[in-house]
Amino acid sequence: MRMQRGRLLAGAAALVLASTTGIVVAARLDHGSAPGGTAAASKATAGSQGISGNARKAALDAILAQRATAVLKGDPKKFLASVDPKQPKLVAEQRVLFGNLRQFQFSTLRYFVADERSAPQMEEKYGKNAFSTRVMMRYQLAGLDPKQVQTDLGYTFAVRDGRWILVADDAIEETLSDDGHRQAWDFQPVTVIRRGKVVVVVDKTEAALGKKIAGVSQTAVSAVRRHWPRPWDGAVMVVAMSDPHVMSLLWTTGTGTGWTIAAKAVTLYDGEPLGVKAVVPVGSRIVINPAVRKDLDEDLLVHEMTHVATVPIGVRTPIWLVEGVAEYVRCRSIEDDPHWTVDPYRKTVKAKYLPSMKVLPGEPEFDANGDRSYGQAWWATEYLVSAEGVKGMASLYTELALRSTSPASYAAIIKKHTSKTPAELVAAVKKFKG
């Protein structure tokens, strides 16, 4: 459900974890580019089915490098030079991709061949030389990303007239990372709005909406910086497009007013996109449910932006504190305005959710009852602030994010910061009057 000022609803089922990455879906992938080389190299090394793997990789990396350079320098002709001219639809889609990419202001961009993927249907369609591969995209957006991030996409190349050309970009999507190949630039034409460190992405026809969201986002950034004591520069991207596939499929679990997830923060990493991440996150993108993009509330953005501000610290903080901190900042920002209050939420949590609280809610509790778990997580965070101060609460969050590697270390960190065991902390939270 979506929470609004004026009728604050208990819980936050509309919100999800900063670490959520979505569900694999057939979406358009487009892009291309990697280390050094030229288009001439691709022509010289393309040939028979017996071409060596190293020679093929060098040829394709050369094509991808040319495409990356074309994006950085604004050269659509070179970007499209490797696209199959016999497929007008693919050429048109790639032209849209180029126009979208140019709007994002890449400070660095590199594509390279990662690993082969079997696609018999592509060989049947384009010949035995058709080669499908996962391609890595490493990039950094100017003024937004503190360092490079990496994601994947999928391409099929084939030999024609003695050279490699791109013939398909949608053949191996089921083998890619959940949200990697569904970036904001991969769909319809977009408009990118920049307001300081806030970047908003909307459909090309919704520029006015983008400007409105940018204004609300700037106010939300200020609220997070007021109530979250650790440094955050306020750099954030908000994606509010009409297509439900952008970086997520969670929206498709319902329709219209039945959609319950209003927004999510998708975490970014610099490393292998598949599998368990072994590196600290670089940051996040906030993705808005298409159904609510035209009626965004500031407090919804505050919750998600709190995830953006906190996730670079680390990912080991337990869910109850991750979501509790986001709810704490959201509620404090609401009460910055003397005309609004979270009292209805407070009463509901105390009367309805605390009596049944047995543990600090984990993923099973959030899955079973989101409203109750968000409320309990918020109340636990409010208790920590009352007992340890907001800086003390942030210190606990940080140490858990960095060092909570086992149940024993988790309990030891809780004890260190609160002088309580996790069970004693639950009892104290339940007794807290607020």
What pLDDT, on the 0 to 100 scale, is given for residue 249? 62
Q: Are residues 378 and 407 in the same domain?
A: yes
List the domain range (segments joined by +) for residue 155. Answer: 39-175
Q: Are residues 224 and 198 in the same domain?
A: yes
Q: Where are the alpha helices (DSSP H) in 335-369?
A: 343-348, 363-368
- 287 vs 181 pLDDT, higher one: 287
Task: Measure Cα distances from 164 to 8, 42, 154 in Å.
Answer: 57, 6, 15
Q: Are residues 250 and 337 in the same domain?
A: no
Which of 292, 313, 334 is the endpoint of a domain? 313
Q: Are residues 275 and 336 in the same domain?
A: no
Q: Which residue type is seen at 58?
A: A
Please say whether the beta carbons of 12 and 91 come within 8 A. Answer: no
Q: Where are the alpha helices (DSSP H) in 228-318?
A: 298-310
* Gap between the Cα atoms of 370 and 1, Å rounded: 10
Q: Are residues 164 and 45 in the same domain?
A: yes
Q: Are residues 284 and 363 in the same domain?
A: no
Mean pLDDT of 202-210: 97
- Is residue 388 in some structural domain? yes
Determine how β-strand 283-288 pairs with β-strand 236-239.
Answer: parallel
Q: Is the pLDDT of residue 26 over 90?
A: no
Q: Return the half-sphere exposure (C-beta side, CA atoms, 13 A cut-off) of residue 241.
A: 25
Please say whether the beta carbons of 275 and 193 come within 8 A. Answer: no
CATH of the domain at 221: 3.30.2010.30
- Is residue 385 in some structural domain? yes
Tokens of 399: 């140490």
Please say whether the beta carbons of 150 and 138 come within 8 A. Answer: yes
Q: Are residues 236 and 136 in the same domain?
A: no
- Is residue 167 in some structural domain? yes
Q: Are residues 116 and 16 in the same domain?
A: no
Q: Is the pLDDT of residue 319 over 80?
A: yes
Q: Are residues 301 and 324 in the same domain?
A: no
pLDDT averaged over every residue in the chain: 87
Which of 135, 157, 175 is the endpoint of a domain? 175
**Could you tell me how far CA 122 lies from the centroid of its own chain?**
30
- 11 vs 100 pLDDT, higher one: 100
Q: Is the pLDDT of residue 322 over 80?
A: yes
CATH of the domain at 87: 3.10.450.50
CB neighbours (10 Å) of residue 407? 9
- Is residue 374 in some structural domain? yes
Per the structure, how many domains does the chain have? 3
- Is residue 189 in some structural domain? yes
Tokens of 31: 């892009």
3-class SS at 156? strand
Q: Is the pLDDT of residue 17 over 80?
A: no
Q: Is the pLDDT of residue 408 over 90?
A: yes
Q: Are residues 124 and 51 in the same domain?
A: yes
Least-confidence region, from 152-161, 202-211, 241-250, 254-263: 254-263
Q: Are residues 190 and 279 in the same domain?
A: yes
What pLDDT, on the 0 to 100 scale, is given for residue 51? 61
Which of 175, 205, 235 is the endpoint of a domain? 175
Q: Are residues 301 and 326 in the same domain?
A: no
User: Quick one: which of 261, 260, 279 has its CA closest to 269?
Assistant: 279
284 has which bridge partners? Answer: 267
Q: Is the pLDDT of residue 15 over 80?
A: no
* Gap between the Cα atoms of 342 and 349, Å rounded: 11
* Gap between the Cα atoms of 191 and 374, Å rounded: 34
- Is residue 331 in some structural domain? yes
- The alpha carbon dihedral of 403, 231, 138, 178 has a sign of positive
Tokens of 377: 């997580």
CB neighbours (10 Å) of residue 428? 16
- Is residue 33 in some structural domain? no
Q: Is the pLDDT of residue 259 over 50?
A: no
Mean pLDDT of 84-112: 98
* Gap between the Cα atoms of 396 and 404, Å rounded: 10
* Gap between the Cα atoms of 82 and 97, Å rounded: 14
- Is residue 34 in some structural domain? no
pLDDT tens profile 355-404:
999 999 999 999 999 999 999 999 999 999 999 999 999 999 999 999 99
Q: Is the pLDDT of residue 78 over 50?
A: yes
